[in-house]
Amino acid sequence: MKRIACKVTDTGTLSIQGILSLYKGGCLRFAQTRARTVILVVLTRARTVFAGHVLRRLITFLAAPSLVFAVAGCHVPGTSSPSALPPGQNLTVAVVPGVDTVPLAVAVKNGLFGKQDIAVRVQDYPTVGAAFNALVDGRADVAAGDYASFFYAIAGPKHARLKLIMDGYDAGAGTMQVLALPSSGINSPSQLAGKTVATPFAQVAPYSQTFPYSIDTLATESVLQSDGVNTASISWTELQENQMISALRDHRVSAILATEPLIIQAETQLGAQEVLDSCSGVTANLPLSGYFSTASFAGQHPAALQAFRTALTTAQSQSAQRSNVQSVLRAENMSTLDSDLVNIGQYPTFLNVGQVQRIAGLMYDSGMITTPVTVQSLVLKSP
């Protein structure tokens, strides 16, 4: 793959050394220059992938045009001048960059927040737990995260008072999977009984061997139970996501519970195979993550949050075009191959309360929470 980078300054001049410095420096350097950078990506060859599922994805990708223009963007404020806006219209949004938050980056890149007369500063965090803490500590006005974590914060010991601004990301086929090596002998969900399965670390809810502790384990256990598998016989173990592939390769675990891009990485690097689609059957099209604010901030600044929702809804619609998603993922340092082959769910353009209530119901039925959560009472009302 050949990359040709061009820095376009306000005066239209071009500095080759500056381009090389920016390219080597990465996205942070781009943001610091406040320059607009365009990367022309010319595909000169494709990697051969032998796993059948991955090969089918690759064939689908190669059917697309081989000349791709992508805007390399960073998380920066919208086009409105923050100093010119009144308090409450400068929003800080805490996120964990990934497939589920792509529309937020699209909204920033396309100046959609500025068109609603708000300025948005996106602050990246390594975990949903850290993003949640930033929200409740007052370091962020809005936070994106999975529903299981935020609903646990509402119904659990934290008793967080939150408002749901909008639905952010819903599951699609293959967006969450249990994978195992072909040599493991695990070819069906029932064969996971008695095995050790690695999962990402618990976030807001505490780790438990008895109850689900994340959106991943909640969805997976729901499907397993509907298939008649005794989930108590499975040993769930927490691992850092960047250690899960090596743990599977070295046979320290029998299987891994993963989302994208870890799924495609396990398939391409190890030839891992799907044992279970965690978002199928009883969990098909399950809402996975949303955008939340504290009840106090929502009460004081409903118009600003409504403007945020309006802009982000437009971005969610624009993210239905896969090329827009790929552009953002590449800018967030996902490899070109991974961004082209990952399974992508749905970016809803409206909040279906009944669908989101499914998460709260699964949490209550599984024992993850003991106090019911009524989603309708959490929804931010229009001012």
341 plus 276 within the same structural domain: no
258 plus 211 within the same structural domain: yes
The reply to whether 162 falls in a domain is yes
Beta carbons of 360 and 373 less than 8 angstroms apart: yes
Looking at residue 222, which CATH number applies to its domain?
3.40.190.10
How many domains are contained in the chain? 3
Lowest mean pLDDT among 18-27, 80-89, 225-234, 297-306: 18-27
pLDDT over 50 at 248, yes or no: yes
The reply to whether 77 falls in a domain is no
187 plus 269 within the same structural domain: yes
64 plus 92 within the same structural domain: no
The Cα 337–Cα 299 span in angstroms is: 44
| Domain end residue (candidates: 71, 101, 116) | 71
| Domain end residue (candidates: 71, 96, 131) | 71
- 291: exposed, middle or buried (C-beta count within 10 Å: 0-12, 13-18, 19+)? buried
190 plus 114 within the same structural domain: no
Higher pLDDT residue, 38 or 210?
210
- What is the model's pLDDT at position 89? 85
Q: Which two tokens stand for residue 161?
A: 């008072």
- Reported as a single tens digit per residue, the pLDDT across 154-185 is 999 999 999 999 999 999 999 999 999 999 99
Beta carbons of 144 and 290 less than 8 angstroms apart: yes
- Which domain covers residue 225, as residue numbers? 176-283
156 plus 292 within the same structural domain: yes
Of the pLDDT bands very low, low, confident and very high (cuts 50, 70, 90), residue 259 is very high
The reply to whether 367 falls in a domain is yes
The reply to whether 145 falls in a domain is yes
Mean per-residue pLDDT over the chain, rounded: 83
The Cα 139–Cα 154 span in angstroms is: 19
- What is the model's pLDDT at position 382? 83
214 plus 267 within the same structural domain: yes
274 plus 300 within the same structural domain: no
- Reported as a single tens digit per residue, the pLDDT across 4-16 is 333 333 333 333 3
Q: Return all residues near 325 (Cβ < 8 A) that are at least 6 apart.
A: 99, 102, 319, 339, 344
pLDDT over 60 at 17, yes or no: no
- What is the model's pLDDT at position 64? 43
pLDDT mean over 225-238: 96
316 plus 360 within the same structural domain: yes
pLDDT mean over 233-253: 97
At 58, the amino acid letter reads L
The reply to whether 112 falls in a domain is yes
| Phi, psi dihedral angles at 234 (to 5 degrees) | -95, 135
The reply to whether 383 falls in a domain is no
The Cα 183–Cα 329 span in angstroms is: 32
CA distances, 184 to each of 174, 187, 251, 275, 370 (Å): 20, 8, 9, 11, 37
> In this structure, are strands 196-200 and 235-239 parallel, antiparallel, or unpaired?
parallel
92 plus 53 within the same structural domain: no
pLDDT mean over 105-113: 97
Q: How many CB atoms lie within 10 A of CB 125?
A: 20
The Cα 63–Cα 129 span in angstroms is: 39
> In this structure, are strands 90-95 and 119-124 parallel, antiparallel, or unpaired?
parallel
The reply to whether 76 falls in a domain is no
371 plus 296 within the same structural domain: yes
| Domain end residue (candidates: 283, 307, 342) | 283
Of the pLDDT bands very low, low, confident and very high (cuts 50, 70, 90), residue 88 is low
The Cα 364–Cα 148 span in angstroms is: 11
345 plus 276 within the same structural domain: no
The reply to whether 230 falls in a domain is yes
